[in-house]
Amino acid sequence: MPLPDTALARTAAWRRASGHCACHECGLVHRIDGPLEQREYDCRRCGATLFSFDRRANDRALAYTVTALILLVLANAFPLVSIEMQGNGRATSIVGAALAMWETGSEGLAVIVFATTVLLPAVELTLLLYVLWSSRDGVSRPLTAPLLRLWLLLRPWGMIGVFMLGTLVALVKLGSYADIVLGVSFWSLAGLLICTTMISAAFAPDAVWLSVPIRGALPSGPRLDGHGAPATGPMISCHACGLTLPDPPNHPWEGHGCPRCRAALHRRREGSLGATTALLIAAMILYIPANTLPIMNTGSILGSQADTIISGVVFFWVSGSWPLALLVFFASIMVPMLKMLALGVLVWTSYRGSSWQPQERTRLYRLVEFVGRWSMLDVYVIAIMTGLVQMGPLASITAGPAAIAFGLVVILTMLASMQFDPRLIWNPEGVCTTEASPAATREKTVHRGASSGAQGATLGLSEPPRWPRFSRVSLRRLRSRRLPGEQDGPTA
């Protein structure tokens, strides 16, 4: 039976799931006791979005997804742009740019360009179409949960927006040498970018997760009876679907599959700091050749020239295109360097168990996540120029050895930020138990693995119970509203 989109229905759905919601960035558990009058809520401690529940928004996202798929087909069926240089003309498409890189010996870059601009966007939109269509009546189908998990994993790797920006930069650079004609694919890409932006703003995955039934229980473990979870004690949350469960010491969920989405449950991602450090070191090593070796080779009847990233910035600046010079400088030089520096700070402070400015470090992590893909700008600029400028002895452009190094730097830093568990900023060990008095006026909170005391534990009294307050996310204003029965909860 479809679930109506009302405050009581939303509350009932959450209470049937577990009655709790854990922040995926800081781990703070919020208990849902009163009607959910709003459709989107923030974590009281770190400000991250806890959940969003709006089926009507998902209906809009379904319409945007269908439109985006049509535009994606058009974007790959017609030429992207064509140029004419001294009587010689050439046109290229998105796939044509990748093929040109393959034919000129840059197979690795060709795979990166094709995967991030054609293959992965097509797979993402197809998955999202099935997920939204199968859950439109509030009842999930068998493949809804695994396909939604797969969509969440692939979402950061579709880079239509970055490719569109790289195309504009390449056209500005070629504009002084050739006549340029924009094709149908260019305008289809512009519409596709608008549609994907609207999908990101409208889609509410939590509305889909709440329609997925919770099945099974651990052998000899806590059985889910559908009446909500205990208000105290250690808890664990699924980082994929957000389901929050009681995690008693005698029957831990650690290492088992989530009863809703089947993802592996963990208090903290195992080996997070080690994997992040290894990927970060590899990115730092590749960053040196990416900025010192030639990233693009240009050949003509007058000779050949090898350009680095810095020389490209200088070209834009000298030619009067200083906005593009600044854009390339920040996207290709400053952003990767600052991103690696920020990840280094996050890893070092988390490794030391530092309590220094956790809110600011969480904001820094969000910034790293947001800017990760935009450093791929130079790779797409080279792809477009390689696809367009292949005119034999008159003019030709090929990718240099720095291009593949730079592409790998972007990929490695994105993987590093994905491996980092932001909950380590707030509670490194991920184990917290509470003992509430009958009157619920005071709570004892025990954090195992803290840095003080001979046995590595701290024991202290928390503030008088005040449940984490939810606040609505709005583009125009941020308004906090207290729910009935709010109290302070444990940390997942």
* Nearby residues of 365 by Cβ (< 8 Å), 6 or more positions away: 25, 342, 346, 417, 420, 422, 425
Most confident among 53-62, 260-269, 281-290, 329-338 (mean pLDDT)? 281-290
Q: What is the sign, positive or negative, of the torsion defined by CA atoms of 481, 485, 487, 492?
A: negative
Residue 483 · residue 31 · CB < 8 Å:
no
Residue 58 · residue 148 · CB < 8 Å:
no
Q: How far is CA 417 from CA 186, 279, 280, 347, 373, in A?
A: 31, 9, 9, 10, 11
List pLDDT tens digits, range 404-459: 999 999 999 999 999 999 988 887 655 443 322 222 222 323 333 332 222 222 22
Q: What is the mean pLDDT of residues 75-97?
A: 88
3-state helix, strand, coil in the chain (%, to 5): 50, 15, 35
For the chain, the average pLDDT equals: 77
Work out the percent of the chain whose per-residue pLDDT is above 70: 77
Ranges of each domain in the chain = 54-211, 267-430
Side chain identity, residue 160: I
The Cα 285–Cα 308 span in angstroms is 17
Name the region of 117 (left: φ>0; alpha: ψ -120 to 50; beta: rest).
Answer: alpha
Q: Which CATH number applies to 267-430: 1.10.760, 1.10.3470, 1.10.10, 1.20.140?
A: 1.20.140
Side chain identity, residue 63: A
Which pLDDT belongs to residue 28? 84
The Cα 154–Cα 93 span in angstroms is 23
* Nearby residues of 322 by Cβ (< 8 Å), 6 or more positions away: 316
The Cα 141–Cα 343 span in angstroms is 39
- pLDDT confidence tier of residue 129, bands split at 50, 70 and 90: very high
Which pLDDT belongs to residue 282? 96
Asked if residue 104 has pLDDT above 50, the reply is yes
Report how far Cα 276 is from the mean position of its chain's Cα atoms.
Answer: 16
The Cα 198–Cα 453 span in angstroms is 51
